[in-house]
């Protein structure tokens, strides 16, 4: 099977491929005009081409801890022929420690993982809330107020809080001001749905970045609280402020993504009415806690 590595690839070629996958699977989230999602702006690209289009594709990035992480997909009409297995095997030949995402815990991915003796090393839940009952009012800690994000002013402050709040997270902890600026150019970005908790000196101590999907579903995109401001209910208040915004905007439901082993966060979301609807998993040839 002819698989080739590239240091650069035509974004239009990748976009056409991702749109074909999305039409069948509902994911990844990519539009015909928006920039490619961050996870597909890889440093290396593994390709299987069928004429002038991609039939299989993997991209490798480096997470916040220096580990190779990969997105790997097969075009719907090329599935069932061993291409996924071949892509994974080749990827692991070059990057034996790579962690490979399977979105939606796809059964085909599980079969490939079993065939190649891969282990699940991470699971991220997608949780969902259908708006029904009234939401509680946010209760803000003393001295804290909330305002909207201002493009061109608040990027560095959000990055600073994000870095402290997510120093344990492989992707979110690597967020940069340039990443925020790039997102500001996307069609879904709305500063009115990007809430900043600030102290009396207007210093950012937490944030809730909401998102709206093309089907109208809202998302708790990121909630981050500075560790020095944790423990006083600020995360819950920020979450409720964002949910109220999404509900007032007419969103019928809200989703979020959370690490399955982040039990405090899962408990907070469950108390607000969220339930697990799906999961993404990462596979690796190195078992959990392995070396």
pLDDT tens digits, one per residue of 99-154 = 999 998 788 899 999 999 999 999 999 999 999 888 999 999 999 999 999 999 99
* Strand bridging mode 4-6 / 218-225: unpaired
67 annotated to a ligand binding site:
no
Residue 18 has pLDDT above 60, yes or no: yes
257 annotated to a ligand binding site:
yes
270 annotated to a ligand binding site:
no
231 annotated to a ligand binding site:
yes
Residue 186 has pLDDT above 90, yes or no: no
224 annotated to a ligand binding site:
yes
234 annotated to a ligand binding site:
yes
pLDDT value at residue 37 = 85
72 annotated to a ligand binding site:
yes
The domains of the chain are located at 4-124, 132-251
42 annotated to a ligand binding site:
no
Instruction: Give, in words, the CATH class of 4-124.
Output: alpha beta
Please give the CATH architecture assigned to the domain spanning 132-251.
3-Layer(aba) Sandwich (3.40)
Calculate mean pLDDT across residues 177-205.
Answer: 95
Confidence of residue 211 (pLDDT cuts 50, 70, 90): very high
57 annotated to a ligand binding site:
no
Confidence of residue 290 (pLDDT cuts 50, 70, 90): low
225 annotated to a ligand binding site:
yes
Q: Do the Cβ atoms of 210 and 219 come closer than 8 Å?
A: yes
268 annotated to a ligand binding site:
no
pLDDT value at residue 291 = 47
pTM (predicted TM-score) = 0.89
230 annotated to a ligand binding site:
yes
132-251: same fold as 4-124? yes
Residue 2 has pLDDT above 90, yes or no: yes
pLDDT in tens, 28-64: 988 888 778 888 988 899 999 988 999 999 999 998 8
Mean pLDDT for the chain?
94
269 annotated to a ligand binding site:
no
236 annotated to a ligand binding site:
yes
């Amino acid at each position: 099977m002819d698989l080739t590595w590239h240091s650069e690839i035509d974004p239009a070629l990748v976009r056409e491929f991702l749109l074909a996958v999305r039409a069948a699977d509902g994911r990844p989230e990519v539009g015909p005009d928006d920039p490619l999602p961050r996870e597909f702006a890889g440093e290396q690209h593994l390709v299987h081409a069928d004429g002038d289009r991609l039939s299989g594709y993997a991209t490798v990035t480096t997470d916040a801890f220096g580990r190779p992480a990969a997105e790997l997909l097969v075009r719907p009409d090329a599935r069932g022929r061993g291409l996924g297995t071949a892509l994974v095997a080749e990827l692991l030949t070059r990057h034996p420690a790579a962690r490979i995402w399977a979105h939606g815990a796809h059964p085909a991915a599980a079969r490939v993982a079993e065939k190649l003796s891969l282990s699940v090393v991470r699971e991220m839940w997608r949780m969902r809330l259908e708006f029904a009952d009234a939401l509680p009012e946010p209760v803000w800690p003393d001295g804290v107020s909330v305002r909207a994000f201002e493009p061109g002013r608040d990027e560095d402050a959000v990055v600073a809080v994000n870095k402290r709040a997510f120093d344990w997270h492989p992707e979110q902890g690597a967020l940069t001001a340039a990443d925020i600026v790039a997102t500001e150019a996307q069609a879904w970005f709305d500063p009115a749905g990007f809430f900043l908790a600030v102290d009396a000196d207007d210093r950012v101590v937490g944030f809730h970045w909401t998102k709206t999907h093309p089907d109208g579903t809202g998302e708790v995109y990121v909630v981050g609280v500075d560790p020095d401001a944790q423990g006083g209910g600020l995360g819950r208040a920020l979450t409720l402020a964002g949910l109220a915004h999404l509900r007032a905007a007419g969103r019928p439901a809200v989703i979020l993504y959370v690490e399955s082993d982040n039990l405090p966060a899962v408990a907070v979301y469950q108390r607000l009415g969220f339930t697990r609807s799906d999961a993404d998993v990462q596979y690796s040839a190195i078992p959990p806690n392995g070396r």
